[in-house]
Structure 1
């Protein structure tokens, strides 16, 4: 029917969004509810029941549009999830990806396998944000780590359909999954003490994993019998929703700033590395396809600027405006990484506030330009650099990138990229289109490298110059 819509659900760190899109890929309405993470005795977490209530609230916010949905795609933050038993979800807390628990698990894995071997097995470094770090901590602190593990996107699909599944880019965030072989590493899982846990099978995004059951329909208000898929990890799904493709470098400007490129893995190829292991270069799935993408994930501009703004005691909009025409030498990467942890150099605070702000944004532009050059050399990608995400609201930051552009630069007009991408992959599950033949997303050309004029107006003044939230790419 022509009035049918697709529903893309984005389970983000700060908010949950339910985006109803039409056959042209245009949003007809977005329902929003806060993600119910809260700090408890052990750290930041939420319950399964609280998550379900929030998802239902976001869908309810769509009103009558929810009755026109023909398929559902669910994207989410990585790492966070739970185990499901035969009779329903376990009582494991849904630990936030950024929670500090699990550091000792990572130390033990490094001591047992070594960093190089872990990267060879999983395509990423051992990190405390991984699912196995959190699960290992829970298992050692009295929680029952049995059942079948899936992330919060898989948990949502289970609530809607009763099916148990995972998606490849989300499986990769577990810390024990090889995205090239598509298998979990039993040696790593055994060492962490998770032998008794079953891991839901990882499928390609867009695969119909089940259909909304009568119970799922009663809970969600969505029609019975429509297909549901897991769209994947929020950063890769945001690339799809913003209109990025495999010829481009996608620079996702937000709280984190991952750089994304397509990568064609040759048979028996090792996971790629940089000689100095600068940052976290990871391999993950390109949603909807059997291909892969590389993500460089060292930069956290939203964290550094938040700490700096508090130290300067200035309003963010004010300092962003004052820094627009300020020249400043870029901060080095080591300083930026320290600022992400809250360590603001005393010398920086002695400078005028607008100069400190400009130097920080120039530093991030310089660091991402260097990483982009490395990624292009590694992957062979030679097309446009596409800027996406909430950081596009910062004119000063975009201008710093323009001055360093080595390839044509464009920005995405889509601001709800993750939920739109999830909706597009729901269209694959419904048979509306095939992967990578999606309705186009609007983009705006900013410059060619030979000429970099000031960019056009980017947005009305916003309450935050740089978007906050892991779920916003």
Structure 2
């Protein structure tokens, strides 16, 4: 009788849900579970113990469904959220969400002291309220007692790994979102940490890709059904880990992660033009394999446009996500799958990239009496699709290579009309990831690396999206002749390039000089 196949676990600690899955070494998923990520009353925090319970609860649900334990566990999740831990490893408050606006003035102070573009060139990210360095500076001013007791910092995924193993550790793709880590030299930056009155010794250890933080403890095994001693890996930033699972791994590959917000990332062999990337509001850093580089851009409201439309025009506030999306999709199907003639600037919460413009708003041009709610709904998706192409085109210039293919992944891909629009708007091959929980699958793949398995062998299935030639020609003409002239007509506001001296070098240290 043959032995049962080895199982790997992947857990994704997200801002809305904690999701878990179990798969075999080839990536075939055998169990899934999810639990709601708890949120504090302020809307900008998550009770730490409840986050741990949700993450471990989803994992335990998978183990029960499969009837046996995985051999290794990988964790991914939201990047900038985290919490201070004391010397005993206890959280010193709730997990601070990436959306917390409180650190905003401290990000401005860092920008004033060091220069936004100089910080970006050194760390890969621009100053904002969400970066942990701004959180630590705020803590030093507003809660100095808490900062004094902080022994180390744990991101959301790190926190659950600590609950499983008793050890704190993180991954470079999380560290590079703090604005206190040097992606080129792979080290913490003491002079930036000193802005908050702390040093590198109070930062979590950063493990190489696939190296375990520690083994599952007997106590954790008893509550989750895991095997004591199973290795636990912090796989890294969810956008990057999901892209890896979807096969976006080599130079020229692009991932378009479609959710409430949207992220586009391009993989390259070397770092992009960092000064130009700062001007475009895009971050850069290492990919999860620690070999390739990525350029990352975000659109703050993508799926949020659908939510806004459902609330305002479909009378569906408070209904579940699937029900809302189904009603929205049915409405879109009542109009032709062709350009609406409307030009939508899809900036519900400003534009972060390209050409950052915080004051940009949602604008609809060309509305006529013949247009109805269904045209408006489709036009919103058109605007989002055009903007995603603009982000991808811009990254191609920054990275110095044309996209080989763009892979769509994330919850919003369940709207078929949207993925068809993406393929029609884009002049490159467009693929659709068939795994709905790509970050969890990627985390499981990197958990397997702790057992000596090659994470390359775990890859989600994808399908080619081939647009109708006439629709593709019409949408690409619209992009070139109507969308781009509209969104580029107004100079960007508060460009970070305004604070950078002209003599800042544009190069990034290469790997031979500074091994990463």
The answer to whether TM tops 0.5 is yes
Offset from partner CA, 1:419-460 (integer Å, 9 cap, x none): 1111111111111x224x223321111127968789xxxxxx
Choose from 243, 248, 254 the match for 1:244: 248
Secondary structure in 2 matching 1:88: coil
Distance 2:327 2:378 in 1: 13
Please give the secondary structure, in 2, of the residue aligned with 1:258: strand
- Listed one character per residue, the Cα deviations across residues 346-382 of structure 1 (whole Å, up to 9, x for unaligned) are 9879963222222221111111112212222332254
Task: Tell whether 2:416 aligns with 1:412.
Answer: no
1:447 aligns with 2:469: no
Q: How does 1:17-36 map to 2 (within 5 A)?
A: 17-36=19-38
Question: Corresponding residue for 1:321?
Answer: 330
Task: Please report the RMSD computed on the Cα atoms of aligned residues, expressed in angstroms.
Answer: 2.9
Alignment match, 1:285: 286
Find the residue that maps to 1:121 and give its secondary structure.
helix
- What are the superposed Cα offsets for residues 219-260 of structure 1, whole Å, 9 maximum, x if unpaired? 432111111111111100111222323242111111121111
Report the CA distance between 1:270 and its aligned residue: 7.6
C-alpha distance in structure 2 between counterparts of 1:334 and 1:130, whole Å: 22
Residues 1:93 and 2:94 are matched in the alignment: yes
- Select between 398-407 and 226-235 the one with higher mean Cα deviation: 398-407
Change (3 A) 1:252 1:338: closer
Q: 2:450 aligns with which of 421, 429, 445?
A: 429
* Aligned residue among 401, 420, 436 for 2:422: 401
- Cα 1:345–1:48 change in 2 (3 A) is same
1:397: Cα distance to partner?
1.9
Q: How does 1:350-369 map to 2 (within 5 A)?
A: 352-369=372-389
The answer to whether 1:296 aligns with 2:309 is: no
**Partner Cα separation in structure 2 for residue 196 and residue 413 of structure 1:** 41
Compare CA radii of gyration and give the structure with the larger one: 2
After superposition, the Cα gap between the structure-2 partners of 1:310 and 1:117, relative to the gap in structure 1 and judged at 3 Å, is: same
Relative to structure 1, is the Cα distance of residues 131 and 349 closer, same or farther in structure 2, using a 3 angstrom cutoff? Answer: farther
Query: Match for 2:151 among 147, 153, 164?
Result: 147
Provide the secondary structure at the position in 2 that maps to 1:20: strand
SS in 1 for 2:55: helix
Q: Quick one: distance in 2 between partners of 1:215 and 1:409?
A: 46
Distance across 2 between alignment mates of 1:403 and 1:291: 29
Could you tell me whether the CA contact under 8 Å between 1:273 and 1:281 is conserved in 2? no
CA, structure 1 residues 272+450, in 2 after alignment: closer, same or farther (shift >3 Å)? farther
Question: Any gaps of 5 or more consecutive residues in structure 2?
Answer: 317-323, 353-357, 474-516
SS at the partner of 2:85?
Answer: strand
> 1:167·1:202 contact (CA, 8 Å) conserved in 2?
yes
Deviation, 1:25, is: 0.6
Determine the C-alpha separation between the residues in 2 that align with 1:236 and 1:12. Answer: 14
Asked whether the equivalents of residues 328 and 362 of structure 1 are also in contact (C-alpha less than 8 Å), the reply is: no
1: CA distance between counterparts of 2:105 and 2:172? 26
For residues 404-430 of structure 1, what are the alpha-carbon distances to aligned partners after superposition, in whole Å with 9 as ceiling and x for unaligned? 221111111111111111111111111
1:231 aligned to 2:235? yes
1:136 and 2:137 correspond: yes
State TM-score, norm by structure 1.
Answer: 0.86
Distance 1:449 1:245, change over 3 A: farther
Other structure's SS at 1:28 match: strand
Cα distance in structure 2, aligned partners of 1:89 and 1:342 = 42
Question: Matched residue of 1:68: which SS?
Answer: coil
Q: Distance in 2 between matches of 1:298 and 1:272?
A: 19
Structure 1 pair 448/393, CA: closer, same or farther in 2 (3 Å)? Answer: closer
Flag structure 1 segments of 5+ consecutive residues without an equivalent: 455-473
In structure 2, what is the Cα distance between the partners aligned to 1:222 and 1:160?
Answer: 10
Name 1:261's counterpart in structure 2.
266
Q: Does 1:45 find its partner at 2:45? A: yes
Report the equivalent of 2:494. Answer: none
What is the TM-score with the length of structure 2 in the denominator? 0.79
Distance 1:263 1:354, change over 3 A: same
